[in-house]
Structure 1
Amino acid sequence: MKAFVGITDNNWFELLQSQPQLEEVNFWQPSGSRQFRALQPGELFLFKLHSPNNYIVGGGIFAHATRLPISLAWESFGIANGAWDLPQMRSRVARYRRQEEDRRADYTIGCILLEQPFFLERPAWIPVPHDWKPNIVQGRSYDLILEPGLSLWRQVQSALSISQRMHDEIPQYGEPQLVRPRLGQGTFRVLVTDAYERRCAVTQEKVLPALDAAHIRPFSEGGEHSITNGLLLRSDVHRLFDRGYVTVIPENHFEVSRKVREDFHNGRDYYALHGKKIWTPSDTGFQPNKDHLAWHNEKIFKI
């Protein structure tokens, strides 16, 4: 198992540390030119402040890395981006890029999505490993089985032993092991968007601002934030799906209720899609859960 120690903006850290009970954070990179590939889901991402504060001050469980328009990153994570609002976030991106700020620009940024973040109080800060080099720009990986990664792992365990919130997430004893990240709403949205290759499962629409990640079984009804409980839908189709005017049967075919015509005396464009097989992710592990689809058919769909 590996950990990545990422150099962290002090303002980003301080703002997020002040927020109670965050489920997820977006550790964003301003250039967006390369996608982060140093970790696999369930490994540890740690925050190191800029020099001269050569300390590890927190971290989170890595869930996903991607590149997003800054508008979608803000819609998905809000203040969990480490900024008070979108204009402030856009201003920081422009400053890091050494560009004049363009208020209309929808910058593409790198996004490292972390679940169950933790932020250490000053007495618990961890000095960087002895082999840390001052010329490191973004960060570096450590193998937690070998030194100095093993010592780093033990220090993280010790620091987290006082954090009840993380007590059940990261093993307090023994060798490091992958931790299944519990996804938040923002990460769910991005994972579903990427799993469906940024196109609507029903209409094939690819205009990203028009697409939503829909829960098949709502979170309030026992559904979970997982790709298999999600569909990427055009926003109007999403609203109809949530209200039961359309559904997807377990065989992955789209169906439109007769109630669309009865209630609105219209719906021609939707009925043209009736019976169509939806587009699903090529990874079979991301396919819609058939039990959740059956639940939607039986509990939500208007007969």
Structure 2
Amino acid sequence: MKAFVAVTDLGWYQHLLATGPRHDEVNFWFPSPRPGFKALAYGDPFLFKTHIDRRSPILSNRMVGGGRFSGFSVMTIDEVWDLLGQRNGVGSLAELSEKIGHYLKRPLGRFEDPEIGCVFLTDAVFFDVTQTLSAPTDFASNLVRGRGYNVDDVPENHSVVEAVLRCETERNSGPTILSDIMHGDPTLVIPRIGQQAFKAVIAENYHHRCAITGDKVRPVLEAAHIQAVSAGGQHRVDNGLLLRSDVHTLFDRGYLAVDLKHRLRVSPALRERFGNGDWFYAKEGTAIAVPDRRIDRPNREFLEWHNDEVFLSA
């Protein structure tokens, strides 16, 4: 199992701790959108380590919590504030803008809405100030973002292992055995990600373009579930499509579908009921856009469900 230890803004930690030791979903943001973040698989531990700060000796260079990696996306600060609000670790959008300006070493303009790198985390745990852990002794002081660890390769008394166990214990309200976390039965199931992360990660995976039309006007793009949540579908990257809002409606109501080879299907009901849909009929049978990574592409099981249960076939 891999883990990542991220250098953490002290104010971010303190704000989230003040609103509760556990959060279903939070955004750990980087002030710069590049480079991206590919160090972890979905569900892997993402741990928080504070800066070295002589002004705050109690919380200087300490492990202060962690969450489960739920995905990465590049978003503007307005977008991510609309998505998660104070779960970005600040009290207001103005404060978030001020923080970004501080790290960029310049104030943001009145209408400036810069992109930032967003690491979405589920099941985040924040340790009480009196319960923080020592930072890893092998964590170089000049690291700006953080560093990854292979948990199998470090001793059991390593602070990364201690932090992973502490987080699991807090989530489960009871003692956790390390081997249960690291050496569980192998699985090919892609973990559920957070509801808000689902929206952001789907947009990132589809490069902020509608999978069917190619439109890239962000305000009208929506993350669509292939198998609806009301029918047992989950917030999983392979259960999502990025669609323009009207296309999303047509997909959910069965006028459009995607076959098992990721080609567009169009229901005859679209023309019969509304006498319209020529653009879609002209594209019928053509391949839609899919994510770069095979693991992120629409899952056969969910496509079959939508084709069988929702699509208005002839």
TM tier, smaller: 0.7 to 0.9
Q: Over residues 127-164 of structure 1, what are the superposed CA-to-partner deviations in whole Å (9 max), with x where a residue is unaligned?
A: 22345555554434445345578421442255346424
Question: Do 1:153 and 1:176's aligned partners in 2 also have CA atoms closer than 8 Å?
Answer: no
1:101-250 alignment to 2 at 5 Å?
Answer: 101-131=108-138, 135-145=142-152, 150-156=157-163, 159-160=166-167, 162-165=169-172, 172-174=177-179, 177=182, 181-250=191-260
1:100 equivalenced with 2:107 (yes/no):
yes
The alpha-carbon deviation at position 13 of structure 1 amounts to 1.7
Q: 1:257 aligns with which of 250, 257, 267?
A: 267
1:290 equivalenced with 2:300 (yes/no):
yes
Q: Structure 1's 259 and 22: CA in aligned 2 closer, same or farther, altered over 3 A?
A: farther
Question: Do 1:198 and 1:208's aligned partners in 2 also have CA atoms closer than 8 Å?
Answer: yes
Q: Structure 1's 172 and 249: CA in aligned 2 closer, same or farther, altered over 3 A?
A: same
Match of 1:36 in 2: 37
The range that moved more, 249-258 or 186-195, is: 249-258
1:48 equivalenced with 2:81 (yes/no):
no
**Secondary structure of 2:86 counterpart:** helix
Distance in 1 of aligned mates of 2:168 and 2:303: 41
The alpha-carbon deviation at position 72 of structure 1 amounts to 3.2
Distance in 1 of aligned mates of 2:152 and 2:209: 41
Question: Do 1:130 and 1:148's aligned partners in 2 also have CA atoms closer than 8 Å?
Answer: no
Question: Do 1:144 and 1:176's aligned partners in 2 also have CA atoms closer than 8 Å?
Answer: no
The alpha-carbon deviation at position 184 of structure 1 amounts to 0.6
Code of the aligned partner of 2:182: Q
Match of 1:89 in 2: 96
Task: Calculate percent identity across the aligned residue pairs.
Answer: 37
Distance in 2 of aligned mates of 1:268 and 1:161: 53
Two-structure CA RMSD over aligned residues (Å): 3.2
Code of the aligned partner of 1:101: L
The alpha-carbon deviation at position 204 of structure 1 amounts to 1.8
Q: Structure 1's 119 and 208: CA in aligned 2 closer, same or farther, altered over 3 A?
A: same
The alpha-carbon deviation at position 215 of structure 1 amounts to 0.3
The alpha-carbon deviation at position 103 of structure 1 amounts to 3.5
The alpha-carbon deviation at position 185 of structure 1 amounts to 1.5
Distance in 2 of aligned mates of 1:91 and 1:215: 35
Q: Structure 1's 82 and 243: CA in aligned 2 closer, same or farther, altered over 3 A?
A: farther
Match of 2:187 in 1: none
The alpha-carbon deviation at position 203 of structure 1 amounts to 1.0
The range that moved more, 246-255 or 257-266, is: 257-266
Q: Structure 1's 302 and 174: CA in aligned 2 closer, same or farther, altered over 3 A?
A: closer
Distance in 2 of aligned mates of 1:202 and 1:161: 41
Question: Do 1:87 and 1:103's aligned partners in 2 also have CA atoms closer than 8 Å?
Answer: no
Q: Structure 1's 181 and 156: CA in aligned 2 closer, same or farther, altered over 3 A?
A: farther
Distance in 2 of aligned mates of 1:175 and 1:222: 27
Question: Do 2:32 and 2:117's aligned partners in 1 also have CA atoms closer than 8 Å?
Answer: yes
Q: 1:58 aligns with which of 57, 65, 86?
A: 65
Q: Give 5+ residue unaligned stretches, structure 2.
A: 185-189
The alpha-carbon deviation at position 46 of structure 1 amounts to 1.4
Q: Give 5+ residue unaligned stretches, structure 1.
A: none
Q: Over residues 20-63 of structure 1, what are the superposed CA-to-partner deviations in whole Å (9 max), with x where a residue is unaligned?
A: 75322211011223223444444322112342312211111224
Q: Structure 1's 182 and 16: CA in aligned 2 closer, same or farther, altered over 3 A?
A: farther
1:14 equivalenced with 2:35 (yes/no):
no
The range that moved more, 264-273 or 29-38, is: 264-273
Question: Do 1:244 and 1:302's aligned partners in 2 also have CA atoms closer than 8 Å?
Answer: yes
The alpha-carbon deviation at position 202 of structure 1 amounts to 0.9
Matched residue count? 301
Q: Structure 1's 252 and 107: CA in aligned 2 closer, same or farther, altered over 3 A?
A: same
Code of the aligned partner of 1:7: V
**Secondary structure of 2:64 counterpart:** strand
**Secondary structure of 1:34 counterpart:** coil
